[in-house]
Amino acid sequence: MRDMIRIGVSACVLGEKVRFDGSHARDAFITDTLAKHVEFIPLCPEVACGMGIPREKVRQVDCAGDIRLIGHESGEDWTDRMNAWAGRLLNELEQDGLCGFVVRNASPSCALMQGKIFSTTGGPVRRGAGFFTARLLERHPLLPIETEERLQTPLLRENFIRRVFVLKRWRDLLARGMQIGHLVDFHTRHKMLIRAHDLRGYRELGHLLGESSVFNTAEVFAAYGALLFRSLSLKATPNKNADVLMHAMGFFKRDLDSRDKQEVLDKIAEYKAGRIPLIIPVTLLNHYARKFDKPYLAQQFYLNPDPAELKLLNHV
């Protein structure tokens, strides 16, 4: 079981001079903040599959539905070499227990959604994942993947961090061996977090565990994992988070005086209006969970994240 979270990253975002013109695209949040809490696996797909530095630009070209990676000036076709390298790499990454990926925005190889795809006759016809990221998404559709640019947005950053840490705990759970009791404990501690992303998925996961005796353990784990990460791929918006915070507040109906209640309500409202980060009402409710001895709340990862997760969320 690895302690450190491993995240793949486009090498140029870390400051490596691997771009087509020998430059980098260093991102301060990635190198100065995220780097303190995770172990990076830096990759430059273009260099790794044999392109030099500097090099001509490549672009994705839609050849009758077959997306090819083609040199802009020379017309050299890198598709097969990139596919061969990506296939080997993705096998290795599976063994590495990767918990997320940060890719460079708008690159023909690494983009998440903004990579240009050209027609064979010239202009760009649409945008989509870069060539390497498309392979990554095919192989790991539920892996948390973000671009360095989108991680500047607090909501997207928060969602990414939460998902990465859940995936790490999920991998650790699997490493301990599949036992339904452990899965129920895992689910119990993630209930509020899952609700914040997907109320329907949260209920489906509850039903699945309620019927777990009907299926074999491996089937239950496989179905749970697929459903969990599908749910977490939905964004936890301010409205959804506010609903979960109000639900948590209900546990203190008889404990808080009217002034303290009003303070919590104010913090939730300020968060919902975008004036303060989520971590402020979360920390307040976590404080009351301990003060008034609410074990169900106190064990929720939503209110009480891992220390590294908390530091990153505090940064949001």
Point out which residues bind ligand SF4 (CB under 6 A): 10-12, 18-19, 44-46, 104, 107, 109-110
From the CB of 36, what's the least distance to ligand SF4, in Å? Answer: 21
**Residue type, position 70, single letter:** I
Continuous H helices in the chain? 28, 45-48, 79-96, 131-139, 154-175, 180-197, 199-210, 217-232, 238-249, 258-272, 279-291, 295-298, 307-315
CA dihedral 109, 112, 117, 123 (to 10 degrees): -110
Cβ of residue 66: shortest distance to ligand SF4, in angstroms?
21
> Quick one: 27 or 46, whose CB is closer to ligand SF4?
46
Nearer to ligand SF4, 147 or 241 (CB): 147
Shortest approach of ligand SF4 to residue 16 CB, angstroms?
8
Q: How far, in Å, CA of 70 to CA of 108, rounded? A: 10
Rounded CA-CA distance 131/79 in Å is: 9
**Beta carbon of residue 208, minimum distance to ligand SF4 (angstroms, whole number):** 38
Q: What are phi and psi of 99, to 5 degrees?
A: -115, 0
Residues 110 and 10 sit within 8 Å (Cβ to Cβ): yes
Nearer to ligand SF4, 104 or 135 (CB): 104
Q: Are 219 and 255 in contact (CB under 8 A)?
A: no
Tell me the closest approach of the beta carbon of residue 239 to ligand SF4, in angstroms. Answer: 34
> DSSP assignment, residue 30?
I
We find the least distance from the C-beta atom of residue 249 to ligand SF4, in angstroms, to be 44
- For residues 57 and 275, which CB has a smaller minimum distance to ligand SF4 in the complex? 57
Residue 47 beta carbon to ligand SF4: minimum distance, rounded to whole angstroms: 6
Half-sphere exposure of 164 (CA within 13 A, CB side): 29
In the complex with ligand SF4, the residue whose CB is nearer, 46 or 158, is 46
Instruction: Give the separation between CA 6 and CA 43, rounded to whole angstroms.
Output: 13
| Contact between 286 and 298 (Cβ < 8 Å) | yes
- Residue listed under structure tokens 């209930």: 191
Is 109 or 304 the residue whose CB approaches ligand SF4 more closely?
Answer: 109
Shorter beta-carbon distance to ligand SF4: residue 145 or 303? 145
